[in-house]
Amino acid sequence: MSIELKPVDIAGLRTANNIFAAPLAGYTNAVFRQICLEAGAGLTFTEMVSAKGLCYGSEKTEELLAVMPQYDGIKACQIFGKEPYYMRKACESAALAPFDIIDINMGCPVPKIYKNGEGSALMNNLPLVADIISECKKSGKIITVKFRTGLDGDNVICTEFAKVCEGAGADMLTIHGRTRDKFYSGEVNFGAIAAAKKAVRIPVIANGGVFSFADAERLLSETGADGVAVGRGAIYEPWIFAKITGKPLPDKRKIIEFQLENTKKLFGERFACVFMRKMVAFYIKGMPNSASLKKILFACPDCDALESVIDGIDFDCDVDKRA
């Protein structure tokens, strides 16, 4: 088995390779992105941030844009919203000045986002989609779009949507191969992604269901996409990028200790403890005694206690995270 690793040319920017870390709300903070980059990801994205929040100078929103000092890859940010004016204004903001690429979220299925007319709800309104992209392009930034194959099985509009995005000026597309109603479960529609890829000239990245090298290889081969974006698979194993790209597998314990230490430095003790209890629970999923370990993890009152628990875990146990 093999994957052709190659740069992706996004409006003149060339990525290190074509295995990307997808943006994930609540997870892809600065430290997590640093880990993914060092493990082999060719491109990483911030978690999605509100365009309006950026326009109004929300401190909480701008916290999501933190970048580790040693991060030396292409910087990409994901924004969401529905009003072209605010989307463009966000792209032109000082907060986004350090970012090379602005990705527009048009695929989030979460009810709160959908009911507000944002995320995947934009798939209901193609003229608005075109307006948003064309306004954002006026900022001079490289603009990419992430979306789904459609809203449900009766409304798979992947190809039409891709053409609208390209026509409005999008520089790259990332397609999650499920409809909005499926959220993150069910089969990935390889055919829909493949059809969209054939219909446009800009790069297309396939997303959905990648938890292993074999998954990434199948997604690439069956869609003909230019690359793949790994989402939930990276939450369970941020070192998955080493597995897919063939880089030497890093020391998992050192990665987790780095993540705990730097999350604490960047975001404070309280956030680090809560966040890392959750992350370590993902890392141990499927391991022997993981249920009892999770109880101990979530009882940790602070980062010191959490570090002691981490010290006693054997992270070299390889298991299927989808089990």
Q: Is 108 a catalytic residue?
A: yes
pLDDT > 60? residue 252: yes
Tell me: the pLDDT tens digits for 290-302? 889 999 999 999 9
pLDDT in tens, 98-116: 999 999 999 999 999 999 9
Is 219 in the same domain as 124? Answer: yes
Which of 213, 230, 245 lies at the terminal end of a domain, its last residue?
245
| Token digits of residue 264 | 């604490």
Q: Provide the whole-model pTM.
A: 0.94
Three-state DSSP class for 34? helix
Q: Which CA distances in Å does 63 have to 26, 56, 95, 100, 309? A: 12, 14, 10, 18, 28
Catalytic residue among 36, 77, 108, 165: 108
Which two structure tokens, joined as six digits, stand for 221? Answer: 């081969």
CATH code of the domain covering residue 85: 3.20.20.70
287/163 same-domain check: no
Asked if residue 21 and residue 61 are part of one domain, the reply reads yes
Residue 320's pLDDT is what?
65
322 within domain boundaries:
no
17 and 54 assigned to the same domain: yes
* Residue 1 within a domain: no
The answer to whether residue 71 sits within a structural domain is yes
Average confidence (pLDDT) over 74-98: 97
CATH number at residue 300: 1.10.1200
Question: Could you give the angle at which helices 252-267 and 269-283 cross, rounded to 10 degrees?
Answer: 150
Neighbouring C-alpha atoms within 13 Å toward the C-beta of 229: 25
> Do residues 32 and 149 share a domain?
yes
List the Cα angle 91/171/174 in 5-degree steps. Answer: 95
Residues 276, 141: one domain? no
For the chain, the average pLDDT equals 94
Inside any domain, residue 214: yes
Could you count the other beta carbons within 10 Å of the beta carbon of residue 227? 27
pLDDT tens sequence across 150-170: 998 888 999 999 999 999 999
Asked if 84 and 37 sit in the same domain, the reply is: yes
Candidates 291, 227, 201, 221; CA nearest to 21 is 227
Q: Is residue 126 situated within a structural domain?
A: yes
Both tokens of residue 272? 């680090």
Provide the number of structural domains found in the chain: 2
Which residue, 188, 218, 245, sits at the end of a domain? Answer: 245
Buried b (16+ CB within 10 A) or exposed e, 288-298: eebeebbebbe
Q: Domain range for residue 291?
A: 252-311
Supply the pLDDT for residue 1.
57
